[in-house]
Amino acid sequence: MRTRSHLAMSALGVIARYEQWLPVTAATPRITLGEGATPCVPSRVIGERLGLGSLHFKYEGLNPTGSFKDRGMVVAVAKAIEAGAQAVICASTGNTSASAAAYAARFGLRAGVVIPSGGIASSKLLQAQVHGATVLAIPGGFDTALRLVREVCDRSPVTLVNSVNPFRIEGQKTAAFEIVDDLGDAPDVLAIPVGNAGNITAYWRGFREYHVAGRSTLLPRMIGGQADGAAPLVRGAPVAEPATVASAIRIGNPASWESAVAARDESEGLIDSVSDADILDAQSRLARLEGVFCEPASATSLAVLEKSVASGAVAPGAHVVCVLTGHGLKDPLAAATRVDPPQEVAADVAAVTAALGLG
Ligand code: AN7
C-alpha cells in the first residue's frame, strides 16, 4: 500500500523532492506532473528462481506518461522555461516524444517531435498527438532523426530535449536516489536497458553522488542490456540499420556512448545483448509471474540479468534491482504476439463454466 508520505513524494515531483541535488536555482519553476516516487516492487518468483539474494523491479512505467523519461523531461522543461524558451523539440523512438508533448502541453510550450516513420509503438505516437505536439515522421531511423533535430536547434530558437540536453540526465539520476532511499542502500547490481545510453549514464551518476555523500555504502555493478540487432555498445561499433522488436531501443549510434562505457567499466559491470525472443519471454514472465507489465525494451533488463546469472557474471545471492523503464500498454502489438485470443463461448452459464474448467 502506498503510504501518505509516498503519495506526498509523487505530488512533490522530482524537482522539489531532490532540488538540492539538481541544477535548479531560485528562478527555476518547481513544475511537476507527479513524476517519480515509483515503486521498487519486490520479486515474488523470479528472484528466487535465479538464486538471487533479492530482486526488485523499479517500475518506471508508473510515471505520468508511462516511462522514466518524465524524470528528465520535467527538469529539461523547467530549465527551458527559466531560459525563456517557447518551444521544445526532440527525436524519439516514442517515449521521449510522449513525455515532451505532455510536459509542453502542461506548461505552455510548443512541442515538435521527429520520429522514424512507422518505427514507434502505437500508444506512444498517440500520446504525442493527443497532447498537441507537431509530429513529423521521417524516412530513416532514430539516429537520423536525432542528427536532424540537433541541426535544427543550431539554427532556430528551440530547445532540444533529447538526453544530449544535460538537464535530462540530471533529472533521470533521481531514480537512483529513490532506489537507495527506498531500499536503504544501493543494490549489488543494477540491470538496465540501453538505447541512446542516457539512462545508464544517469543512474551511474546518481549512485555515485549518493555514495560520495554517504547515503549508500556501496556502488552497484551496472549491467546494461541491448537487443542483438541493435547492440552497438556490445559490438564496439555503430549499427547502420538497427533491428529489434523493442522499438524503444532500436538505436544504432547512442549519443551517450562514452559515458555508458564509463559506467560499465567504472562499476566493473557489463553490457551484453539478448535476442528478441528472450526479450519477449522476459516480458511475458514478468507479466505472468510477477503481475508487472512492461514494454519489450524494459524487459531487456531482466533478459540480460538472466543471461548474466546463467554465465556466472552475476553471482548467486546478489542483491539486484532491475529497471523496468516503460509501461506494457505502450506497445500493445508487441505483447499481443505472445497471448492467446479470447475464447468465443456462448452467453450461457454452462458454456462459461465449462470453458473455465469449473464444470
Ligand atoms: C522504455 O524515447 O530513446 O538508453 O527516444 O523508451 O536512455 O536511451 C527511449 C529509450 C529504455 C533506453 N527503455 O534508454 C526515446 C528513447 C525505454 C525507452 C530506453 C528507452 P536510453
Tell the burial category of 268 from Cβ atoms under 10 Å away from its Cβ (0-12, 13-18, 19+).
exposed
Question: The pTM is what?
Answer: 0.96
Give the model confidence (pLDDT) of 36-77 as tens digits.
Answer: 999 999 999 999 999 999 999 999 999 999 999 999 999 999
CA 21 to chain centre: 21
Q: Which residues of the chain have pLDDT under 70?
A: 1-7
pLDDT reported for residue 215: 98
Residue nearest to atom 8 of ligand 1 (CA): 196
252 C-beta closer than 6 A to ligand 1: no
In this prediction, residue 72 carries a pLDDT of 98
Pairing of strands 189-193, 319-324: parallel
> Is there an atom of ligand 1 within 6 Å of 32 CB?
no
| Model pLDDT, residue 108 | 97
Complete DSSP assignment for 221-277 = EEEEEEETTB-HHHHTS--SS---S-GGG--SS-TTHHHHHHHHHHTT-EEEEE-HH
Q: In testing the pocket of ligand 1, which one of 69, 113, 147, 292 has its CB within 8 Å of the most ligand atoms?
A: 69
Q: What local confidence, expressed as pLDDT, does residue 11 receive? A: 85
**Can you give the pLDDT at residue 10?**
75
Please report the pLDDT score of residue 1 as a whole number. 46
pLDDT at site 4:
53
Tell the residue nearest (CA) to atom 1 of ligand 1.
326
